[in-house]
Structure 1
Amino acid sequence: MVGQAEAVTAGLLVIGDEILSGRTKDRNIGYIAEYLTAVGIDLAEVRVVPDIEDEIVAALNALRTRYTYVFTTGGIGPTHDDITADAVAKAFDVSIDVDPRARAMLLERIAEADLNEARLRMARIPAGAELVANPVSKAPGFWIGNVIVMAGVPTIMQAMLDEVAPKLRTGVRMLSETVTANAKEGDIGGPLKAVAEIHTDVSIGSYPFMGEDGRPNTNLVLRSRDPARLAAAVAAVRMMVAEVHAARGTVGA
Protein backbone atom coordinates (compact mmCIF):
# COMPACT_ATOMS: atom_id res chain seq x y z
CA MET A 1 0.00 0.00 0.00
CA VAL A 2 1.19 3.51 -0.76
CA GLY A 3 2.60 5.10 2.38
CA GLN A 4 2.80 1.85 4.34
CA ALA A 5 6.51 2.34 5.03
CA GLU A 6 5.81 5.78 6.42
CA ALA A 7 3.25 4.59 8.97
CA VAL A 8 3.87 6.02 12.44
CA THR A 9 2.12 4.33 15.36
CA ALA A 10 1.20 5.22 18.91
CA GLY A 11 -0.05 3.59 22.08
CA LEU A 12 -1.99 5.42 24.79
CA LEU A 13 -1.73 4.58 28.47
CA VAL A 14 -4.52 6.06 30.61
CA ILE A 15 -3.59 6.02 34.29
CA GLY A 16 -5.92 6.35 37.24
CA ASP A 17 -8.15 4.48 39.67
CA GLU A 18 -10.82 7.12 39.10
CA ILE A 19 -11.13 6.10 35.43
CA LEU A 20 -11.46 2.40 36.24
CA SER A 21 -13.99 3.04 39.01
CA GLY A 22 -16.16 5.17 36.73
CA ARG A 23 -15.94 8.16 39.03
CA THR A 24 -14.21 10.13 36.28
CA LYS A 25 -15.40 9.73 32.69
CA ASP A 26 -12.47 9.73 30.29
CA ARG A 27 -12.55 12.59 27.80
CA ASN A 28 -9.05 12.19 26.44
CA ILE A 29 -9.03 8.98 24.41
CA GLY A 30 -11.29 10.20 21.61
CA TYR A 31 -9.58 13.58 21.45
CA ILE A 32 -6.10 12.05 21.21
CA ALA A 33 -7.24 9.50 18.61
CA GLU A 34 -8.70 12.20 16.35
CA TYR A 35 -5.70 14.49 16.89
CA LEU A 36 -3.16 11.83 15.99
CA THR A 37 -5.13 10.63 12.99
CA ALA A 38 -5.25 14.19 11.68
CA VAL A 39 -1.45 14.52 11.79
CA GLY A 40 -0.70 11.09 10.33
CA ILE A 41 -0.13 8.92 13.41
CA ASP A 42 -2.10 5.71 13.93
CA LEU A 43 -3.33 5.19 17.48
CA ALA A 44 -3.06 1.41 17.59
CA GLU A 45 -3.75 0.54 21.22
CA VAL A 46 -5.20 2.03 24.42
CA ARG A 47 -4.68 0.60 27.89
CA VAL A 48 -6.18 1.78 31.19
CA VAL A 49 -4.30 0.92 34.38
CA PRO A 50 -4.75 1.72 38.08
CA ASP A 51 -2.48 3.86 40.24
CA ILE A 52 -0.19 0.92 40.94
CA GLU A 53 3.47 1.37 40.04
CA ASP A 54 4.14 -2.16 38.83
CA GLU A 55 1.04 -2.08 36.62
CA ILE A 56 2.10 1.22 35.07
CA VAL A 57 5.68 0.03 34.50
CA ALA A 58 4.59 -3.25 32.90
CA ALA A 59 2.11 -1.56 30.56
CA LEU A 60 4.56 1.18 29.66
CA ASN A 61 7.37 -1.24 28.84
CA ALA A 62 5.04 -3.32 26.67
CA LEU A 63 3.75 -0.33 24.73
CA ARG A 64 7.02 1.53 24.23
CA THR A 65 8.67 -1.44 22.53
CA ARG A 66 5.71 -1.89 20.21
CA TYR A 67 4.91 1.61 18.94
CA THR A 68 6.68 4.69 17.62
CA TYR A 69 5.29 6.78 20.48
CA VAL A 70 3.53 6.17 23.76
CA PHE A 71 1.36 8.87 25.29
CA THR A 72 0.27 8.72 28.91
CA THR A 73 -2.43 10.72 30.67
CA GLY A 74 -2.98 11.11 34.39
CA GLY A 75 -1.04 10.74 37.60
CA ILE A 76 1.33 13.73 37.52
CA GLY A 77 -0.39 15.91 40.12
CA PRO A 78 0.60 16.86 43.70
CA THR A 79 -0.98 14.03 45.71
CA HIS A 80 0.43 10.76 47.06
CA ASP A 81 -1.32 8.66 44.41
CA ASP A 82 0.17 10.64 41.53
CA ILE A 83 2.93 8.14 40.81
CA THR A 84 3.27 8.25 37.03
CA ALA A 85 6.61 10.10 37.04
CA ASP A 86 8.12 7.57 39.45
CA ALA A 87 6.80 4.66 37.40
CA VAL A 88 8.22 6.10 34.18
CA ALA A 89 11.61 6.60 35.86
CA LYS A 90 11.50 2.98 37.00
CA ALA A 91 10.57 1.77 33.51
CA PHE A 92 13.58 3.59 32.04
CA ASP A 93 15.82 2.70 35.00
CA VAL A 94 16.78 6.33 35.68
CA SER A 95 16.74 8.48 38.80
CA ILE A 96 14.05 11.05 39.54
CA ASP A 97 14.26 14.31 41.48
CA VAL A 98 13.00 17.88 41.52
CA ASP A 99 14.07 19.40 38.21
CA PRO A 100 15.21 23.05 38.46
CA ARG A 101 13.56 23.82 35.12
CA ALA A 102 10.24 22.40 36.25
CA ARG A 103 10.52 24.19 39.59
CA ALA A 104 11.05 27.49 37.77
CA MET A 105 7.94 26.83 35.70
CA LEU A 106 5.88 26.28 38.84
CA LEU A 107 7.15 29.57 40.27
CA GLU A 108 5.64 31.37 37.29
CA ARG A 109 2.25 30.60 38.84
CA ILE A 110 2.95 29.74 42.49
CA ALA A 111 4.65 31.98 45.03
CA GLU A 112 7.87 30.63 46.53
CA ALA A 113 6.23 30.56 49.98
CA ASP A 114 3.44 28.34 48.63
CA LEU A 115 5.74 25.88 46.92
CA ASN A 116 5.26 23.17 49.52
CA GLU A 117 6.26 19.50 49.37
CA ALA A 118 3.03 18.47 47.67
CA ARG A 119 3.36 21.03 44.89
CA LEU A 120 7.03 20.19 44.43
CA ARG A 121 5.97 16.68 43.47
CA MET A 122 4.84 18.20 40.17
CA ALA A 123 8.45 19.24 39.50
CA ARG A 124 9.90 15.76 39.97
CA ILE A 125 11.13 14.68 36.54
CA PRO A 126 13.03 11.53 35.48
CA ALA A 127 16.69 12.16 34.63
CA GLY A 128 17.27 12.92 30.97
CA ALA A 129 13.68 13.86 30.18
CA GLU A 130 12.68 16.85 28.09
CA LEU A 131 9.98 19.04 29.62
CA VAL A 132 6.60 19.51 27.97
CA ALA A 133 5.36 23.03 28.64
CA ASN A 134 1.96 23.54 30.24
CA PRO A 135 0.56 26.97 29.35
CA VAL A 136 -2.59 26.33 31.39
CA SER A 137 -1.32 25.67 34.91
CA LYS A 138 2.48 25.66 34.37
CA ALA A 139 3.14 22.22 35.95
CA PRO A 140 4.96 20.49 33.08
CA GLY A 141 4.70 17.10 31.52
CA PHE A 142 7.78 15.43 30.11
CA TRP A 143 9.14 13.39 27.22
CA ILE A 144 11.67 10.60 27.69
CA GLY A 145 12.65 8.15 24.97
CA ASN A 146 9.50 7.64 22.94
CA VAL A 147 7.20 8.23 25.93
CA ILE A 148 5.28 11.49 26.29
CA VAL A 149 3.75 12.02 29.74
CA MET A 150 0.78 14.39 29.95
CA ALA A 151 -1.78 15.49 32.51
CA GLY A 152 -5.16 13.86 32.81
CA VAL A 153 -7.15 17.11 32.98
CA PRO A 154 -8.47 17.47 29.41
CA THR A 155 -7.71 21.18 28.93
CA ILE A 156 -4.15 20.72 30.16
CA MET A 157 -3.63 17.52 28.18
CA GLN A 158 -4.81 19.26 25.02
CA ALA A 159 -2.41 22.14 25.57
CA MET A 160 0.47 19.72 26.14
CA LEU A 161 -0.41 17.80 22.99
CA ASP A 162 -0.28 21.05 21.04
CA GLU A 163 3.18 21.66 22.50
CA VAL A 164 4.63 18.31 21.39
CA ALA A 165 2.82 17.91 18.06
CA PRO A 166 5.30 19.95 15.99
CA LYS A 167 8.13 17.68 17.20
CA LEU A 168 6.44 14.39 16.34
CA ARG A 169 7.43 12.30 13.36
CA THR A 170 4.34 11.77 11.27
CA GLY A 171 3.40 9.46 8.44
CA VAL A 172 1.09 9.58 5.46
CA ARG A 173 -2.30 10.71 6.71
CA MET A 174 -5.03 8.11 6.84
CA LEU A 175 -7.96 9.05 4.60
CA SER A 176 -11.52 7.98 5.29
CA GLU A 177 -14.93 8.15 3.67
CA THR A 178 -18.32 7.14 4.99
CA VAL A 179 -21.13 5.57 2.98
CA THR A 180 -24.54 5.46 4.65
CA ALA A 181 -26.22 2.24 3.56
CA ASN A 182 -29.82 3.05 4.51
CA ALA A 183 -30.10 -0.62 5.41
CA LYS A 184 -29.75 -2.91 8.39
CA GLU A 185 -26.28 -4.27 8.99
CA GLY A 186 -27.50 -7.83 8.50
CA ASP A 187 -28.89 -7.01 5.06
CA ILE A 188 -25.51 -5.95 3.70
CA GLY A 189 -23.16 -8.17 5.71
CA GLY A 190 -22.67 -10.82 3.02
CA PRO A 191 -22.22 -8.48 0.04
CA LEU A 192 -19.96 -6.23 2.12
CA LYS A 193 -17.71 -9.18 2.93
CA ALA A 194 -17.35 -9.86 -0.79
CA VAL A 195 -16.28 -6.25 -1.41
CA ALA A 196 -13.79 -6.39 1.47
CA GLU A 197 -12.25 -9.58 0.11
CA ILE A 198 -11.53 -7.82 -3.19
CA HIS A 199 -10.31 -4.53 -1.70
CA THR A 200 -8.00 -6.05 0.90
CA ASP A 201 -5.78 -2.97 1.04
CA VAL A 202 -8.64 -0.78 2.31
CA SER A 203 -10.03 -1.04 5.85
CA ILE A 204 -13.82 -1.32 5.73
CA GLY A 205 -15.82 -1.07 8.95
CA SER A 206 -19.56 -1.47 9.51
CA TYR A 207 -21.21 0.63 12.22
CA PRO A 208 -24.95 0.23 12.91
CA PHE A 209 -26.97 3.10 14.35
CA MET A 210 -30.57 4.18 14.81
CA GLY A 211 -31.61 6.81 12.28
CA GLU A 212 -33.63 9.92 13.02
CA ASP A 213 -36.65 8.14 11.54
CA GLY A 214 -36.30 5.48 14.23
CA ARG A 215 -35.17 2.81 11.79
CA PRO A 216 -31.94 0.78 11.97
CA ASN A 217 -29.25 2.06 9.63
CA THR A 218 -25.58 1.41 8.96
CA ASN A 219 -22.56 3.57 8.24
CA LEU A 220 -19.80 1.93 6.23
CA VAL A 221 -16.45 3.60 6.94
CA LEU A 222 -13.57 3.02 4.54
CA ARG A 223 -9.99 3.97 5.39
CA SER A 224 -6.78 3.98 3.36
CA ARG A 225 -3.65 6.04 2.83
CA ASP A 226 -3.96 5.63 -0.94
CA PRO A 227 -6.56 8.01 -2.47
CA ALA A 228 -7.00 5.94 -5.63
CA ARG A 229 -7.55 2.66 -3.80
CA LEU A 230 -9.92 4.35 -1.36
CA ALA A 231 -11.94 5.79 -4.24
CA ALA A 232 -12.15 2.40 -5.94
CA ALA A 233 -13.36 0.72 -2.76
CA VAL A 234 -15.91 3.46 -2.09
CA ALA A 235 -17.28 3.04 -5.62
CA ALA A 236 -17.56 -0.70 -5.09
CA VAL A 237 -19.38 -0.23 -1.78
CA ARG A 238 -21.81 2.27 -3.30
CA MET A 239 -22.54 -0.16 -6.14
CA MET A 240 -23.03 -2.99 -3.66
CA VAL A 241 -25.48 -0.94 -1.62
CA ALA A 242 -27.42 0.02 -4.76
CA GLU A 243 -27.63 -3.62 -5.83
CA VAL A 244 -28.89 -4.69 -2.38
CA HIS A 245 -31.63 -2.09 -2.51
CA ALA A 246 -32.55 -2.97 -6.10
CA ALA A 247 -32.92 -6.62 -5.12
CA ARG A 248 -35.10 -5.68 -2.15
CA GLY A 249 -37.06 -3.00 -3.99
CA THR A 250 -36.00 -0.33 -1.50
CA VAL A 251 -34.33 3.08 -1.74
CA GLY A 252 -30.53 3.05 -1.42
CA ALA A 253 -27.89 5.51 -0.28
Structure 2
Amino acid sequence: MGEATAVETGVVTAALLVIGDEILSGRTKDKNIGYIAEYLTAIGVDLTEVRVVSDDEAAIIDALNALRQRYTYVFTTGGIGPTHDDITADCVAKAFGVPIHEDPRAIARLLERIKPEDLNEARRRMARIPEGADLVDNPVSKAPGFWIGNVIVMAGVPTIMQAMLDSVAPKLATGRVMLSETIRAECKEGDVAGPLRAIAERYPDVMIGSYPFNDETGFKTNLVLRSREASRLAVATAAVRDMLTSLNAARS
Protein backbone atom coordinates (compact mmCIF):
# COMPACT_ATOMS: atom_id res chain seq x y z
CA MET A 1 0.00 0.00 0.00
CA GLY A 2 1.49 3.35 -1.02
CA GLU A 3 1.27 6.47 1.11
CA ALA A 4 -1.20 8.11 -1.29
CA THR A 5 -3.58 5.21 -0.85
CA ALA A 6 -3.20 5.45 2.91
CA VAL A 7 -4.12 9.14 2.82
CA GLU A 8 -7.16 8.47 0.64
CA THR A 9 -8.49 5.65 2.80
CA GLY A 10 -7.50 7.01 6.19
CA VAL A 11 -5.78 3.68 6.92
CA VAL A 12 -2.03 3.33 7.40
CA THR A 13 -0.72 -0.22 7.70
CA ALA A 14 2.50 -1.73 8.98
CA ALA A 15 4.26 -5.05 9.27
CA LEU A 16 6.95 -6.03 11.75
CA LEU A 17 9.84 -8.31 10.79
CA VAL A 18 11.61 -9.75 13.83
CA ILE A 19 15.06 -11.02 12.92
CA GLY A 20 17.19 -13.38 14.96
CA ASP A 21 18.05 -17.00 15.64
CA GLU A 22 17.91 -16.24 19.36
CA ILE A 23 14.20 -15.45 19.14
CA LEU A 24 13.35 -18.64 17.26
CA SER A 25 15.45 -20.80 19.58
CA GLY A 26 13.79 -19.38 22.67
CA ARG A 27 17.04 -18.11 24.16
CA THR A 28 15.70 -14.56 23.96
CA LYS A 29 12.07 -13.76 24.76
CA ASP A 30 10.73 -11.09 22.43
CA LYS A 31 9.59 -7.98 24.26
CA ASN A 32 9.14 -5.76 21.23
CA ILE A 33 6.08 -7.07 19.40
CA GLY A 34 3.52 -6.07 22.02
CA TYR A 35 5.16 -2.70 22.62
CA ILE A 36 5.26 -1.84 18.91
CA ALA A 37 1.66 -3.00 18.40
CA GLU A 38 0.35 -0.79 21.20
CA TYR A 39 2.51 2.16 20.15
CA LEU A 40 1.41 2.07 16.51
CA THR A 41 -2.26 1.55 17.38
CA ALA A 42 -2.15 4.64 19.60
CA ILE A 43 -0.88 6.87 16.77
CA GLY A 44 -3.17 5.52 14.04
CA VAL A 45 -1.03 2.86 12.33
CA ASP A 46 -2.47 -0.65 12.00
CA LEU A 47 0.08 -3.38 12.69
CA THR A 48 -1.34 -6.03 10.37
CA GLU A 49 1.35 -8.70 10.18
CA VAL A 50 4.32 -9.93 12.21
CA ARG A 51 6.95 -12.35 10.90
CA VAL A 52 9.92 -13.88 12.70
CA VAL A 53 12.86 -15.06 10.61
CA SER A 54 16.30 -16.47 11.36
CA ASP A 55 19.63 -14.82 10.64
CA ASP A 56 19.45 -16.13 7.10
CA GLU A 57 20.06 -13.82 4.18
CA ALA A 58 17.54 -15.35 1.78
CA ALA A 59 14.81 -15.51 4.42
CA ILE A 60 15.30 -11.87 5.42
CA ILE A 61 15.37 -10.58 1.84
CA ASP A 62 12.33 -12.61 0.80
CA ALA A 63 10.34 -11.39 3.80
CA LEU A 64 11.34 -7.77 3.25
CA ASN A 65 10.42 -7.79 -0.42
CA ALA A 66 7.06 -9.39 0.29
CA LEU A 67 6.13 -7.11 3.17
CA ARG A 68 7.30 -3.78 1.75
CA GLN A 69 5.05 -4.25 -1.28
CA ARG A 70 2.02 -4.93 0.89
CA TYR A 71 2.13 -2.38 3.71
CA THR A 72 2.65 1.33 4.19
CA TYR A 73 5.59 0.65 6.51
CA VAL A 74 7.79 -2.29 7.44
CA PHE A 75 9.59 -2.15 10.77
CA THR A 76 12.44 -4.54 11.51
CA THR A 77 14.06 -5.37 14.82
CA GLY A 78 17.36 -7.12 15.38
CA GLY A 79 20.51 -7.87 13.45
CA ILE A 80 22.22 -4.45 13.35
CA GLY A 81 24.89 -5.02 16.00
CA PRO A 82 28.68 -5.54 15.64
CA THR A 83 28.85 -9.34 15.33
CA HIS A 84 29.26 -11.52 12.25
CA ASP A 85 25.62 -12.68 12.31
CA ASP A 86 24.24 -9.14 12.35
CA ILE A 87 23.35 -9.10 8.65
CA THR A 88 20.16 -7.06 8.54
CA ALA A 89 21.73 -3.95 6.98
CA ASP A 90 23.33 -5.99 4.19
CA CYS A 91 20.05 -7.80 3.52
CA VAL A 92 18.08 -4.55 3.32
CA ALA A 93 20.62 -3.15 0.86
CA LYS A 94 20.27 -6.28 -1.31
CA ALA A 95 16.47 -6.13 -1.11
CA PHE A 96 16.54 -2.56 -2.43
CA GLY A 97 19.36 -3.24 -4.90
CA VAL A 98 21.65 -0.52 -3.52
CA PRO A 99 25.26 -0.58 -2.30
CA ILE A 100 26.14 -0.47 1.40
CA HIS A 101 29.12 1.31 2.91
CA GLU A 102 30.37 3.03 6.04
CA ASP A 103 28.34 6.17 6.47
CA PRO A 104 30.30 9.20 7.79
CA ARG A 105 27.19 10.36 9.65
CA ALA A 106 26.99 7.04 11.46
CA ILE A 107 30.71 7.05 12.26
CA ALA A 108 30.33 10.53 13.75
CA ARG A 109 27.50 9.33 15.98
CA LEU A 110 29.46 6.31 17.15
CA LEU A 111 32.37 8.59 18.06
CA GLU A 112 30.07 10.47 20.41
CA ARG A 113 30.09 7.36 22.61
CA ILE A 114 33.20 5.42 21.57
CA LYS A 115 36.81 6.63 21.75
CA PRO A 116 38.50 6.70 18.33
CA GLU A 117 41.05 4.10 19.42
CA ASP A 118 38.18 1.79 20.48
CA LEU A 119 36.30 2.06 17.20
CA ASN A 120 37.51 -1.31 15.95
CA GLU A 121 36.41 -3.21 12.86
CA ALA A 122 33.53 -4.94 14.65
CA ARG A 123 32.08 -1.68 15.98
CA ARG A 124 32.49 -0.01 12.59
CA ARG A 125 30.06 -2.59 11.21
CA MET A 126 27.31 -0.64 12.97
CA ALA A 127 28.08 2.31 10.68
CA ARG A 128 27.43 0.37 7.48
CA ILE A 129 24.27 1.91 6.00
CA PRO A 130 22.55 1.23 2.64
CA GLU A 131 23.07 4.04 0.16
CA GLY A 132 20.23 6.56 0.20
CA ALA A 133 18.97 5.68 3.68
CA ASP A 134 18.25 8.23 6.39
CA LEU A 135 19.60 7.55 9.85
CA VAL A 136 17.33 6.76 12.79
CA ASP A 137 18.50 8.39 16.02
CA ASN A 138 19.62 6.22 18.91
CA PRO A 139 20.04 8.37 22.03
CA VAL A 140 20.75 5.28 24.15
CA SER A 141 23.94 3.90 22.59
CA LYS A 142 24.34 6.18 19.53
CA ALA A 143 24.61 3.31 17.00
CA PRO A 144 21.90 4.39 14.53
CA GLY A 145 19.14 2.53 12.81
CA PHE A 146 18.09 3.63 9.35
CA TRP A 147 15.07 4.26 7.12
CA ILE A 148 15.06 3.45 3.41
CA GLY A 149 11.93 3.53 1.26
CA ASN A 150 9.17 2.33 3.55
CA VAL A 151 11.46 0.11 5.65
CA ILE A 152 12.50 1.26 9.10
CA VAL A 153 15.35 -0.75 10.62
CA MET A 154 15.69 -0.75 14.41
CA ALA A 155 17.71 -2.52 17.07
CA GLY A 156 16.41 -5.59 18.86
CA VAL A 157 17.37 -4.42 22.37
CA PRO A 158 14.04 -3.16 23.78
CA THR A 159 15.30 0.08 25.33
CA ILE A 160 17.10 1.05 22.14
CA MET A 161 14.21 0.00 19.91
CA GLN A 162 11.81 2.10 21.97
CA ALA A 163 14.04 5.16 21.68
CA MET A 164 14.32 4.64 17.93
CA LEU A 165 10.56 4.30 17.59
CA ASP A 166 10.12 7.58 19.45
CA SER A 167 12.48 9.26 16.99
CA VAL A 168 10.66 8.06 13.86
CA ALA A 169 7.06 8.35 15.09
CA PRO A 170 6.68 12.09 14.34
CA LYS A 171 7.68 11.44 10.72
CA LEU A 172 5.17 8.66 10.07
CA ALA A 173 2.00 9.12 8.06
CA THR A 174 -0.84 8.17 10.37
CA GLY A 175 -4.46 7.27 9.75
CA ARG A 176 -7.61 7.47 11.78
CA VAL A 177 -7.08 6.03 15.23
CA MET A 178 -8.88 2.78 16.02
CA LEU A 179 -11.32 3.28 18.90
CA SER A 180 -12.19 0.49 21.30
CA GLU A 181 -14.55 -0.46 24.10
CA THR A 182 -14.09 -3.35 26.53
CA ILE A 183 -17.06 -4.92 28.29
CA ARG A 184 -16.71 -7.51 31.05
CA ALA A 185 -19.24 -10.32 30.64
CA GLU A 186 -20.04 -12.25 33.82
CA CYS A 187 -20.30 -15.53 31.94
CA LYS A 188 -18.28 -18.09 30.03
CA GLU A 189 -17.30 -17.47 26.43
CA GLY A 190 -19.51 -20.31 25.23
CA ASP A 191 -22.57 -18.74 26.88
CA VAL A 192 -22.18 -15.53 24.92
CA ALA A 193 -20.84 -16.87 21.60
CA GLY A 194 -24.21 -17.31 19.83
CA PRO A 195 -25.77 -13.91 20.57
CA LEU A 196 -22.41 -12.20 20.04
CA ARG A 197 -22.17 -13.73 16.57
CA ALA A 198 -25.58 -12.28 15.73
CA ILE A 199 -24.45 -8.80 16.79
CA ALA A 200 -21.24 -9.15 14.76
CA GLU A 201 -23.33 -9.95 11.70
CA ARG A 202 -25.49 -6.87 12.30
CA TYR A 203 -22.42 -4.61 12.63
CA PRO A 204 -19.84 -5.97 10.14
CA ASP A 205 -17.93 -2.68 10.25
CA VAL A 206 -17.18 -3.17 13.97
CA MET A 207 -14.58 -5.75 14.99
CA ILE A 208 -15.76 -7.77 17.97
CA GLY A 209 -13.57 -10.19 19.89
CA SER A 210 -14.12 -12.32 22.97
CA TYR A 211 -11.33 -13.16 25.40
CA PRO A 212 -11.98 -15.62 28.25
CA PHE A 213 -10.25 -15.32 31.61
CA ASN A 214 -10.52 -16.85 35.05
CA ASP A 215 -10.62 -14.96 38.35
CA GLU A 216 -11.64 -15.73 41.93
CA THR A 217 -15.32 -15.87 40.91
CA GLY A 218 -14.81 -18.32 38.02
CA PHE A 219 -14.64 -18.12 34.23
CA LYS A 220 -15.57 -14.77 32.68
CA THR A 221 -15.18 -13.10 29.28
CA ASN A 222 -13.95 -9.72 28.13
CA LEU A 223 -15.69 -8.49 24.98
CA VAL A 224 -13.68 -6.00 22.95
CA LEU A 225 -15.25 -3.88 20.20
CA ARG A 226 -13.12 -1.84 17.78
CA SER A 227 -14.01 0.68 15.08
CA ARG A 228 -12.74 3.93 13.59
CA GLU A 229 -16.30 5.30 13.61
CA ALA A 230 -17.32 6.52 17.06
CA SER A 231 -21.02 6.38 16.21
CA ARG A 232 -20.87 2.80 14.96
CA LEU A 233 -18.83 1.73 17.94
CA ALA A 234 -21.41 3.30 20.25
CA VAL A 235 -24.42 1.53 18.73
CA ALA A 236 -22.65 -1.84 18.61
CA THR A 237 -21.52 -1.41 22.23
CA ALA A 238 -25.08 -0.62 23.27
CA ALA A 239 -26.28 -3.74 21.47
CA VAL A 240 -23.74 -5.89 23.32
CA ARG A 241 -24.70 -4.40 26.68
CA ASP A 242 -28.40 -5.01 25.95
CA MET A 243 -27.61 -8.59 24.95
CA LEU A 244 -25.73 -9.20 28.19
CA THR A 245 -28.56 -7.71 30.22
CA SER A 246 -31.06 -10.04 28.55
CA LEU A 247 -28.73 -13.02 28.93
CA ASN A 248 -28.22 -12.35 32.63
CA ALA A 249 -31.96 -11.92 33.17
CA ALA A 250 -32.69 -15.24 31.46
CA ARG A 251 -30.14 -17.03 33.62
CA SER A 252 -31.32 -15.57 36.93
- Interval of TM-score (by shorter of Structure 1 and Structure 2): over 0.9
* Secondary structure of the corresponding residue to residue 70 of structure 2: coil
Q: 1:246 aligns with which of 236, 239, 249?
A: 249
Which of 117, 131, 156 is residue 113 of structure 1 equivalent to?
117
Mapped to 1, the partners of 2:8 and 2:234 lie a distance apart of 18
Matches within 5 A, 1:1-253: 5-213=9-217, 215-249=218-252
Q: Give, as a single letter, the amino acid of the residue that structure 2 aligns with 1:71.
A: F
Q: Which runs of 5+ in 1 are unaligned?
A: none
CA distance in 1: counterparts of 2:125 and 2:244, whole angstroms? 58
Q: Which secondary structure does the structure 2 equivalent of 1:222 belong to? A: strand
**Distance between the aligned counterparts of 1:212 and 1:78, measured in 2?**
49
**1:243 to partner: Cα distance:** 1.0
Deviations 1:79-113 (A, max 9, x none): 00000000000100100011000000000000110
Name the aligned partner's letter for residue 34 of structure 1. E
Q: CA deviation at 1:212?
A: 3.3
Query: How far apart in 1 are the matches of 2:8 and 2:227?
Result: 10
% identical equivalent positions: 74
1:21: how far off?
A: 0.5
User: What SS is found at the alignment partner of 1:200?
Assistant: coil
Moved >6 Å (runs of 4+): none
Q: Distance in 1 between matches of 2:186 and 2:81?
A: 48
Q: Which runs of 5+ in 2 are unaligned?
A: 1-6
- Please give the per-residue CA displacement for 1:189-242, whole angstroms capped at 9, x wherever unaligned: 0000000000111000011111233x1110000000000000000000011111
Alpha-carbon offset, residue 133 of structure 1: 0.7
Q: Over the residues paired in the alignment, what is the CA RMSD in angstroms?
A: 1.0
The TM-score normalised by the length of structure 2 is 0.96
1:29-86, Cα deviation, whole Å (9 max, x unpaired)? 0000000000000000000000001000001111100000000000000000000000
Distance 2:137 2:22 in 1: 25
Q: In structure 2, what is the Cα distance between the partners aligned to 1:14 and 1:143? A: 16
Say how many residue pairs are matched. Answer: 246
Residue 13 of structure 1: how far off its partner (Å) = 0.2
Task: State the distance in 1 between where 2:42 and 2:154 align.
Answer: 19
Listed one character per residue, the Cα deviations across residues 141-198 of structure 1 (whole Å, up to 9, x for unaligned) are 0000000000000000000000000000000000001011111000000000000000
Q: Secondary structure at the match of 1:77?
A: coil
In structure 2, what residue type is equivalent to 1:93? G
Instruction: Give the whole-Å Cα distance in 1 for the aligned partners of 2:246 and 2:204.
Output: 21
Distance 2:94 2:250 in 1: 62
| Distance (whole Å) between structure 2 residues aligned to residue 70 and residue 242 of structure 1 | 43
Structure 2 distance, partners of 1:182, 1:81, is 50
Q: What amino acid is the match of 1:248?
A: R
